[in-house]
Structure 1
Amino acid sequence: MSSPASICLLRTSAIGDVTHVVPLIHTLQRAWPQTALTWIVGKLERKLVGDLPGVEFVTFDKGAGWAGMREVHAALRGRRFGALLQMQVALRSNLLSLGIKADRRIGYDHARSKDLHGLVINERIPARTGEHVLQAIGSFCEPLGLKQTEVRWDIPVPDEAHAWAAQQWSDNQPTLLVSPTSSHALRNWRPERYAAVMDYAVTRSWRVVLIGGPSPMERSMADAILALCKQAPLDLTGKDTLKKLMAMFCRAQLLLTPDSGPMHMANTVGLKVLGLHAASNPARSGPYSDRRWCVDKYDVASRNYFGRPASEIPWGTKIEKPGVMDLIEVDDVIERFEAAASSLS
């Protein structure tokens, strides 16, 4: 199959899902180096991936509503792509795609479609179940005649970000980063349980660094944890950027976090991730490369809330129910921490 002259990729959010698009970019560039790639991405997400070489970025400001859509459409006026990869099924993204002209409009299979997705596409990726989100996104090249056989990120991290991270700690003491807040509140663990694990890590001679964005929810969670810690961690909440966060991931040994964007950012640089999974299935949305260090209570949650094992509920079901994360005990996390720590020696 001949290569298209141009491809438009539409995946605006969220941070974790945007990292899953990067291997697809590399797959397309390796197979078809002459094909022009344009990626419509969210304003925040562009700060993470917007310096990928060989890609034109068009920013979609979700907060601007219809005006944000009009800005994207104006930026692409008069252009027609060989293919549009419509990798987001939310209604807003489906409406956004209507202003993008393309000969081939590739979207999700019927089972993964919603919000009128089928009306804005004319081709679909293969219908599969049991896939990680990254694999589903990678399959968008298959209708074009390609196959994603390698997963590579290489998201650029500027020297100044590495320099900033080096200023935060400079010795070789093993470092546990704790990013406690997901944008999905029901995926968050209790502050007192984070504090207990963080204090335990200090007794094992680890440095503990509390991280997170500047939002009120993240600051509130950080303050609640700090108030409960017997040993004060280094608190960098709200003090980094996405690139500085990536640089910290390059320097640390382990990240403790619920299912969230930082989980997937850390995975791209090979940092071990102690993910907390009860509300979501780590096989679908956990750290792609290595889930050995995660706590997985998803099956327990399925039995508790739905009365049947996870194998009998639809793939991708989120169990975001009040109290679901309480299924993860402090001892569960300490056990995985010790396993990860032992693997370093």
Structure 2
Amino acid sequence: MMRKIWKLRLGSFILRFFTGRNGLVDSRRKFESDNIDDFKNIIIYSTTALGDFMMNSPAIRAIRQRFPAAHITLVAHPKFRDFFEGGEDWDRVVYWMSKVKEVPALLKSLKSEGKPDLVVILHSHAPYDYISAVLTGAKYIFRDNYHDNISFVDKWLTNFTVGFKGHLIQRKLELVAPLGCDTSNIEMKLPRSLRSDLVKPERKILGFQLGASTPERCWPIDRFAKVASHFLQYNKNLDIVLIGGPGEISLGQSLLEYIPADLKERVINKIGKTSLQELAENINGFNVLLTGDTGPLHVAIALKVPTLSMFATEQPVFSGPYQDREIHHVILGVRSALRIETLGEGAMKSISVENVIKTLENNFDVL
């Protein structure tokens, strides 16, 4: 974070130069007396990973329900274009790669609907997110800061939470609570509903999400393979389905090298072969998903598909399952100085094959 301080200072200088103001602190007083029921133009930023969006989705729905007549623009990364188009909780999507050189084009697109009444930044990249938000001329700006007491950012915002230590979903909801949003619904949701003609497969399916955003969040491939071989051997009505993005294709190929020849035909590799919407449709057919801390975990939770998730570098109390806890189980790996292999990128080695197999057998009858 300290490496970004110079960017935050520069961002504050840029905003003072272009706006002639020294912040939006006065907007807090105005907000208290304003008739926010009249908001007509709202912008929401969610420009980071799939899992981040899923945890933002309850707050986005709450804003949509609070302002049903408002025109809502979602700012998102272009890699999610197919997934977000036609979303139920916004009217249009503006795509931005969070690059400073693209800010002028972003501003042009955002201003095409007129000056926004409200900008809500749920998850994006500082300082370009709030710089662009201020430069739209927005009346009020709400932002989830993730870090407290950074004056170069705080003074340009109408609202932000302070000292919140709970789940990310709840933190987003608390951020928008002053708008009068109903914050009671914590369930995540997909941008749009799945096809109504999807049918669950007759055979049982144990899904594997092998990859994650960083190496230290990935459980070793040979351990996934041992779990697969165990259940394939003892349950003849079970298939393993591998899911993941194009950058994870090699992980699926590696896993198949560990699987005995007589079991390989029951390992179905769909890594890199589906769109995000098709990925969600595949997950919807699983009986259980085994995964690390990554986006497909949250898609499965939104779809009410049972999961076993593995955490080592992050705390599930902040980013793990938050709804329907009776069908979602978590293993938290504990690293240790006496187990050198669990330090650094080997964090997930703190979770044993035996623990995963036992947890699956004890909690998911379908296996």
For structure 1, which segment, 332-341 or 42-51, has the greater mean C-alpha deviation from structure 2 after superposition? 42-51
- Distance, in Å, in 1 between the alignment partners of 2:188 and 2:146 is 29
State the structure with more CA Rg: 2
Q: Which residue matches 2:346?
A: 323
Q: CA–CA distance in 2 between the matches of 1:12 and 1:44?
A: 10
The reply to whether residue 87 of structure 1 matches residue 122 of structure 2 is: yes
Query: Do 1:90 and 1:115's aligned partners in 2 also have CA atoms closer than 8 Å?
Result: no
Distance 1:189 1:320 in 2: 13
* Match in the other structure for 2:256: 226
Report 1:295-334 matches (<5 A): 295-297=331-333, 300-301=334-335, 304=337, 321-334=344-357
Task: Measure how far apart 1:143 and its partner are.
Answer: 2.4
Amino acid at match of 1:103: K
> Which of 224, 235, 243 pairs up with 2:269?
235
Amino acid at match of 1:247: E
Q: What residue in structure 1 maps to residue 330 of structure 2?
A: 294
Q: Provide the secondary structure at the position in 2 that maps to 1:172.
A: coil
Residues 67-76 or 249-258, more deviating = 67-76
Q: Which moved more, 1:193-202 or 1:1-10?
A: 1-10
Aligned length: 318
Which residue in 1 is equivalent to 2:230? 200
Distance 1:54 1:90 in 2: 22
SS of the equivalent of 2:119 reads strand
Correspondence 1:252 to 2:282: no
Partner residue in 2 for 1:314: none
* Cα distance in structure 2, aligned partners of 1:23 and 1:8: 16
Alignment partner of 1:57 is 2:92: yes
Partner residue, 2:8: none
Q: 1:2 to 1:115 in 2, by over 3 A?
A: closer
Does residue 16 of structure 1 match 2:51?
A: yes
Q: Tell me the secondary structure at the aligned position of residue 345 of structure 2.
A: coil
Q: Which residue of 2 is the match for residue 102 of structure 1? A: 138
> Structure 1 residues 60, 112: closer, same or farther in 2, change over 3 A?
farther
Distance in 2 separating the partners of 1:115 and 1:253: 48
Q: 1:89 Cα deviation (Å)? A: 5.5
Question: Residue 67 of structure 1: CA displacement?
Answer: 4.1
Following TM superposition, by how much is the alpha carbon of 1:112 offset from its aligned partner in structure 2, in angstroms? 4.5
Matches within 5 A, 1:92-171: 92-108=128-144, 111-112=147-148, 116-125=152-161, 127-129=163-165, 131-155=166-190, 156-159=192-195, 171=201
Q: 1:69 to 1:189 in 2, by over 3 A?
A: same
Cα distance in 1, alignment partners of residues 195 and 343 from structure 2: 39
Deviation string, structure 1 residues 177-234 (Cα, Å, up to 9, x no partner): 111000211111111001001111212332101111112xx01211111111122211
Confirm or deny: 8 A CA contact 2:60 2:89 kept in the other structure.
Answer: no
> Does structure 1 residue 172 correspond to structure 2 residue 205?
no
* Residues 90-118 of structure 1: CA deviation (Å, up to 9, x unaligned): 32434443433211111236844769532
Counterpart CA distance in 2 for 1:88 and 1:171 is 36
What is aligned with 2:243? 211
Structure 2: gaps spanning 5 or more residues: 1-34
Which amino acid in 2 is paired with 1:219?
I
In 2 relative to 1, CA 6–56 (structure 1 residues): closer, same or farther, beyond 3 Å? Answer: same
Deviation at 1:119? 4.7
**Separation of aligned partners in 2, 1:320 and 1:74:** 47
5+ residue gaps, structure 1 = 306-318
Distance in 2 between the 1:93 and 1:304 partners? 39
- The 8 Å contact of residues 7 and 38 in structure 1, kept in 2 or not, is answered as yes
Residue 102 of structure 1 aligns to a residue in which SS? coil
Distance, in Å, in 2 between the alignment partners of 1:27 and 1:112 is: 24
Give the CA deviation at 1:173.
Answer: 1.8
Q: TM-score, normalised by structure 2?
A: 0.78
Closer/same/farther in 2, CA of residues 225 and 112 from structure 1, 3 Å limit: farther
Cα pair distance change 1:220/1:50, threshold 3 Å: same
Instruction: Say if 2:348 is the partner of 1:336.
Output: no
> Partner letter of residue 32 of structure 1?
F
8 Å CA contact retained: 1:157, 1:247? no
- TM-score scaled to structure 1, two decimals? 0.83
Alpha-carbon distance between aligned partners in 2 of 1:139 and 1:320, rounded to the nearest angstrom: 35
